[in-house]
Structure 1
Amino acid sequence: MQRANRLKTIMTAVRSPAGVRVSDLVAATGASAMTIRRDLGELERQGVLRRVHGGAVSLPARGARPPFALRLESQVGLKQAIARAAAELVPDGSSIIVDAGTTAAAVAGALAGRDVTALVLSVPAAAAAGERPGARIITPGGPLDGDDLTWFGHRAVQDVLDFRADLAILGVCAWDEHSGLTSTSTQDAETKRAMLASARRTIAVATPDKLNTSATFTVSPSGSVDALITGALPAETRAWITAAGVDVVEAGEAGAPV
């Protein structure tokens, strides 16, 4: 099969709700597994799809995001490595705000049992932080989002603004060189802006697939973040982030190169 037709076949197959496996694409195109993986890498760089273990899934529309359960199962080892690196930067006795999202929830879990006062913005993060006694856990008011059990709305934003934090652990929906940090919802963007306003220092935590992408609603310029903890980055991505004044920490999974 010609390359153009092969890429078209991949883009059609990946729209399946469950995504597509490399083995299925090998059978559909007659190409080798190595060729399919190379094609998937190219299409991922173009923002067409996202690679997962054994295959690929389609990216959501710009104003949407994958369901929480799907995000929770994605890149678990890397998120845990990011969480450990973030926890090392949190001093004992500090007050922190922990954002919603699966990577931020992993940070909350890494802080379980620590001497911190934490305002946590989702039920999963609160549960993770409370796995062991030690941390003082506070939650905001307001309604809960039905998917990821995140507090949102005016009450939650005001509670964030009233909490004067030493450090904010900021989740990332999307972040690129030209748009800065963006989000898939107005509520989340507003909450993130409140976190930035309330904390003396902000550490963003994100897997590399959140970078060089943009969502619908503006959060802040890149320079509003003090540090980013992520996985291994291409040199050009690291360059524009550090040029904005952001310190970059590349965390590696246990046993994996950084």
Structure 2
Amino acid sequence: MNAVRSPGGARVADLARATGTSLMTIRRDLAALERQGVLRRTHGGAVSSPARGTRLPFAVRLDTGLEQKQAIATAVAALVPDGSSVILDNGTTCTAVAQALTGRDLTVLALSVHAAAALGECPGVRIITPGGQLDGDELAWTGHRAVREVQEFRADVAVLGVCAWDEPSGLTATSMHDAEIKKAILASANQAVAVTTADKFGSSATFAVCSSDVIDTLVTSELARDDHLWLTAAGVKVLDQDA
């Protein structure tokens, strides 16, 4: 996926050499990714498909950076005191956080089916879910009803997923619905903890969420030094799990 994002895309032969797999395997994988809307196949190769304001399908993101997301989730779990109330955003890193919180004495407003299911794997967490429309790919609740439920919930800690984050724009989201949910989350929590892998930095999406100084803590991995500097200057406490 990274290779096909480069100008001109990537050729099948180059991808086979880079991954040590056969041409047939590469063609099969490209066909699968094309069906998911990640890329578009060309004669002898493929080019990136998603434009600004879109994101990769949930299933594709779920299998990416698993070890990093688990390390982030473990660190976030240590920041959440027993007995507290939590708003847990949607996204693959937040799903990993849900798995790390399973069995704890917590009240969690889970904003996706994935997170709610992970929290329910063993007894302990009191799980609350909003109503409203479910996004077909993310299985996350969206719309005015979900926003109202978030606004009526008072959380000690909000765990916020990240679509894109850069110094000029702050946090941005790939859809208007997601931006509205994230704004409601931030307004309803005493402490905001953003969770993401480092690939979300240095880019912006279409819809504004908040300036960087609204976030209390960032839990991430392999963050570039320049990004660390401007985040710290904005007042964000950065916990880099690979530092």
Q: Look up the SS of the partner of 1:12 in the other structure.
A: coil
Q: What corresponds to 1:187 in structure 2?
A: 177
- Decide which of 129, 139, 143 is 1:149's aligned counterpart: 139
Q: Are the structure 2 counterparts of residues 15 and 241 from structure 1 closer, same or farther at C-alpha, using a change threshold of 3 Å?
A: farther
The Cα offsets for residues 168-214 of structure 1, whole Å up to 9 and x where unpaired, read as 00000000000000000000000000000000000000000001110
Q: How far did residue 21 of structure 1 move? A: 2.7
Q: Look up the SS of the partner of 2:133 in the other structure.
A: coil
The Cα offsets for residues 211-236 of structure 1, whole Å up to 9 and x where unpaired, read as 11100000000001000000021211
CA-based RMSD of the aligned residues comes to: 2.5
Q: How far did residue 132 of structure 1 move? A: 1.2
Contact 1:15 1:58 in 2 (8 A): no
What amino acid is the match of 2:162? V
Q: What corresponds to 1:12 in structure 2?
A: 8
Alignment partner of 1:158 is 2:154:
no
Contact 1:94 1:166 in 2 (8 A): yes
Q: What corresponds to 2:124 in structure 1?
A: 134
Q: Are the structure 2 counterparts of residues 133 and 236 from structure 1 closer, same or farther at C-alpha, using a change threshold of 3 Å?
A: same
Contact 2:5 2:48 in 1 (8 A): no
- Decide which of 89, 95, 116 is 1:99's aligned counterpart: 89
Contact 1:204 1:228 in 2 (8 A): yes
Q: What corresponds to 2:187 in structure 1?
A: 197
Please give the alpha-carbon distance, in whole angstroms, between the structure 1 residues aligned to 2:5 and 2:165. Answer: 29
Alignment partner of 1:23 is 2:17:
yes
Q: How far did residue 61 of structure 1 move? A: 1.2
Q: Are the structure 2 counterparts of residues 25 and 163 from structure 1 closer, same or farther at C-alpha, using a change threshold of 3 Å?
A: closer
Please give the alpha-carbon distance, in whole angstroms, between the structure 1 residues aligned to 2:122 and 2:4. Answer: 50
Q: Are the structure 2 counterparts of residues 60 and 15 from structure 1 closer, same or farther at C-alpha, using a change threshold of 3 Å?
A: farther
Q: Where do 1:216-227 residues align within 5 Å?
A: 216-227=206-217
Please give the alpha-carbon distance, in whole angstroms, between the structure 2 residues aligned to 1:243 and 1:22. Answer: 43
Q: Where do 1:1-258 residues align within 5 Å?
A: 11-14=7-10, 21=15, 23=17, 58=48, 60-252=50-242, 258=243
What amino acid is the match of 1:11? P
What amino acid is the match of 1:242? T
Q: How far did residue 63 of structure 1 move? A: 1.0
Q: Are the structure 2 counterparts of residues 8 and 165 from structure 1 closer, same or farther at C-alpha, using a change threshold of 3 Å?
A: closer
Q: Look up the SS of the partner of 1:178 in the other structure.
A: coil
Please give the alpha-carbon distance, in whole angstroms, between the structure 2 residues aligned to 1:139 and 1:81. Answer: 26
Please give the alpha-carbon distance, in whole angstroms, between the structure 1 residues aligned to 2:183 and 2:173. Answer: 11
Q: Are the structure 2 counterparts of residues 234 and 93 from structure 1 closer, same or farther at C-alpha, using a change threshold of 3 Å?
A: same
Q: How many equivalent residue pairs?
A: 216
150-159 vs 58-67, which moves further? 58-67
What amino acid is the match of 2:8? T
Q: How far did residue 12 of structure 1 move? A: 2.6
Contact 1:92 1:114 in 2 (8 A): yes
Q: How far did residue 8 of structure 1 move? A: 11
What amino acid is the match of 1:89? L
Q: Look up the SS of the partner of 1:11 in the other structure.
A: coil
Q: Are the structure 2 counterparts of residues 59 and 223 from structure 1 closer, same or farther at C-alpha, using a change threshold of 3 Å?
A: farther
Q: Look up the SS of the partner of 1:21 in the other structure.
A: helix
Q: How far did residue 148 of structure 1 move? A: 1.1
Q: Look up the SS of the partner of 1:124 in the other structure.
A: helix
